[in-house]
Structure 1
Amino acid sequence: MISHFDHIVLTVADIDRAVLFYKTVLKMEPITFANGRRAVQFGQQKINFQLLGQELRNHAMEGSGDLCLITNWTIADVVGHLKSCKVTILEGPVSKSGAQGPIQSVYFNDPDNNLVEVSVYDETSKSSSDLSEAE
């Protein structure tokens, strides 16, 4: 029934600050849509930002988000980049279980205390899934 995520929405205190963080730290593309709403885009997905109370159907509080993002960088490159951006790593690199197998992850908070996990699939997982697809 469901094939993928289109977008998620994070509730933040300052939309411009959130856009700048995701642009700088996570290399996402800032976009504006629907009468001036702000978001960041990566691949075929996006993260929309809203202020507390802006969307009456959404009861999320600032900092209630928890997301895992997959990168094609090495975990060492991710750690180095986060450090160069002065982002405090809360945990990692650590081994976790992703939707498609083992991953290496680092965890940190965005400026609104949303928990962000950036992960890399283990090469052995990629290799074995590539082999099974080829068979």
Structure 2
Amino acid sequence: MIDHIDHIVLTTHNLNQCIDFYTRVLGMQLESFGNNNERKALKFGNQKINIHEYGKEFEPKAHLPVPGSIDICFIASIPLEKVREKIESENWEIIEGPILRTGAIGKITSIYIRDPDLNLVEIATYNQ
């Protein structure tokens, strides 16, 4: 019945810091949409992350939307070593990894960082 995830919603304390991290550090593309382009999203591949600012969420929303509550894994389109180099070049701390884990369709190697709202961001590549 379900094929894939189209988008998720991330709640942030600081819209500008959130956008900066996901565009500058992770290379996502910013999209503005809605009436007067007041809504923001981060696009990558065939997915996106809609951004809600804490206290100014759009309806409908999660029951208790709070910053820092997401634990998400992204699959990289480049080798994990290149991801690590990019993150380090942006002076962003890697808190763990590389480490072996299990992804949705097999074994992955992951590194972990935190975004400005302290969400846990795992970036991985599938092992060949």
Q: TM exceeds 0.5?
A: yes
Equivalent residue, structure 2, for 1:126:
none
Query: Where do 5+ consecutive residues of structure 2 fail to align?
Result: none
Match of 1:83 among 83, 88, 94: 88
Equivalent residue, structure 1, for 2:77:
72
Would you say how many aligned residue pairs link Structure 1 and Structure 2?
Answer: 123
Using the TM superposition, give the Cα deviation of residue 78 of structure 1 relative to its aligned residue in structure 2, in angstroms: 1.1
| Secondary structure of the corresponding residue to residue 24 of structure 1 | helix
After the TM superposition, which residues 1-135 of structure 1 pair with which residues of structure 2 at under 5 Å, given as runs?
A: 1-35=1-35, 36-53=38-55, 54-55=57-58, 57-58=61-62, 59-123=64-128
Deviations 1:91-132 (A, max 9, x none): 100000000100000000001101100000001xxxxxxxxx
Identity %: 41
Larger radius of gyration: 1
Structure 1 runs, 4 residues or longer, greater than 6 Å off: none
Relative to its length, the structure with more helix (as a share) is 1
What is the letter of the counterpart of residue 39 of structure 2? R
CA RMSD of aligned residues (A): 1.1
Using the TM superposition, give the Cα deviation of residue 17 of structure 1 relative to its aligned residue in structure 2, in angstroms: 1.6
Query: Where do 5+ consecutive residues of structure 1 fail to align?
Result: 124-135
What is the letter of the counterpart of residue 71 of structure 2? D
| Secondary structure of the corresponding residue to residue 111 of structure 1 | coil
Deviations 1:24-45 (A, max 9, x none): 1111110001121011101110
